[in-house]
Amino acid sequence: MALIIIAHPNFSNSVGNKTIIDELQKSDLELEFRNLHDLYSDFKIDIDAEQEALLRHQTIVFQFPFFWCNVPAMLKHWFDTVLAYQFAYGSEGDKLKGKNFLPSFTAGSLEDAYKPLGTHHYRISEYCKSIEHIAYFVQMNYIEPIYFHGSVHHYTEQTVKELAKNHSERLIKKLQELG
Amino acid sequence: MALIIIAHPNFSNSVGNKTIIDELQKSDLELEFRNLHDLYSDFKIDIDAEQEALLRHQTIVFQFPFFWCNVPAMLKHWFDTVLAYQFAYGSEGDKLKGKNFLPSFTAGSLEDAYKPLGTHHYRISEYCKSIEHIAYFVQMNYIEPIYFHGSVHHYTEQTVKELAKNHSERLIKKLQELG
């Protein structure tokens, strides 16, 4: 049904991202999970295997923590290598055309931080433009990101778990809608 | 005088980025070059060595090609690991305060592509927001990026070299101004 690409350099110790994935695994959705740091701790991505996985699914979810208001390095490495010329773009590069592209992430700071007077100055959607552009360029349908705020240092672990469970409910609903 | 961080996965075959670096090396500026892919082909960045290099300089130049309207994965990995808590940010993380942060990059497409009706939809400055935010967050002075358009497939190699030489002249002038 959907492919879940996980990019977190310290996934097993994460609260937000791990809770979201745990909840997805408990759901009755048919999902394939690919944890990039487990698969490629040396950053040597198996491009063929990743492209074959993409071809098996209609919806691709990218699960990650916002790092420096951007995707983590491993996910950028995946974009840089797997979304290759004549596969994802170029005159014959239409293999991802029409598939759904769904970013799903945790934002460390509280919502006010992502405003002009806040620590991060710009809204989350501003920071997502380069991600959105990728979806357009490879002819995928960009689905509005699902995320929650405050995953780092702002709440107790229990509160982050609750926010992550709420996140996973929204994500599961969206995946059911996308079919 | 300045530290030049180079992030290009295929630097020796690049035209734009290599020409810019060649011109910098021919200049009489006092520069330290760190080619991340040469130093860390396995993505295992020596964080202490990188932080020590940063402490030696007042101006840091990041030289890279725009990949997916964003920094290449290796530079993101450098941001994710070297700009660490209590070094670059946090209650005691002021080691980069007041230093200059200067992005210097090549953009593959022509200028019109980075407009609403173009292939990339948003202007270059929109895509630089996450880079700019990093500079603010680590208390560095963000210097307006130096870049040129059309480094991929749009011009002959000779024309790209000329654009890159013009780029390096602007970069050298800026470095002289920054002192």
Tell me: the pLDDT tens digits for B28-57?
Answer: 999 999 999 999 999 999 999 999 999 999
Is residue B1 over pLDDT 90? no
Please classify residue B47 by burial: count the beta carbons closer than 10 Å to its beta carbon, then call 0-12 exposed, 13-18 middle and 19+ buried: middle
Is residue B154 over pLDDT 90? no
- A178 to chain B nearest CA, in Å? 26
Distance CA A14, CA A4 (A): 17
- A73 to chain B nearest CA, in Å? 5
CB contact under 8 A, A130 and B134: no
Distance CA A178, CA A170 (A): 12
Residue B53 contacts by C-beta under 8 Å, 6 or more apart in sequence? B3, B32, B34
Is residue B152 over pLDDT 90? no
Distance CA A85, CA A55 (A): 16
* Res A72: pLDDT: 98
* Predicted model pTM: 0.97
CB contact under 8 A, A76 and B80: no
CB contact under 8 A, B76 and A73: yes
Distance CA B165, CA B167 (A): 5
Q: Does B85 touch chain A (CB under 8 A)?
A: no
Q: Does B129 touch chain A (CB under 8 A)?
A: yes
- CA pseudo-torsion sign A149, A147, A76, B59: negative
Residue B84 contacts by C-beta under 8 Å, 6 or more apart in sequence? B47, B51, B93
pLDDT tens-place values along chain A, 179 residues long: 899 999 999 999 999 999 999 999 999 999 999 999 999 999 999 999 999 999 999 999 999 999 999 999 999 999 999 999 999 999 999 999 999 999 999 999 999 999 999 999 999 999 999 999 999 999 999 999 999 998 887 789 999 999 999 999 999 999 999 98
* Res B139: pLDDT: 98
Q: Does A85 touch chain B (CB under 8 A)?
A: no
Is residue B153 over pLDDT 80? no
Residue A13 contacts by C-beta under 8 Å, 6 or more apart in sequence? none
Of B66, B64, B61, nearest to B122 (Cα)? B66
Please give the tally of structural domains in chain A.
1
Question: Which CATH number goes with the domain that contains B21?
Answer: 3.40.50.360
CB contact under 8 A, B136 and A121: yes
- Averaged pLDDT for residues B61-69: 97
Split at pLDDT 50, 70, 90, the class of B23 is very high
Q: Are A74 and A36 in contact (CB under 8 A)?
A: yes
Q: Are B143 and B128 in contact (CB under 8 A)?
A: no
Q: Does B119 touch chain A (CB under 8 A)?
A: yes
* Res A63: pLDDT: 98
Domain hosting residue B86, numbered range: 2-178
- CA pseudo-torsion sign B35, B36, B37, B41: positive
Which residue of A43, A69, A77 is in closest CB contact with B133? A69
Rounded alpha-carbon distances, angstroms, from residue B61 to A1, A17, A151: 45, 34, 32
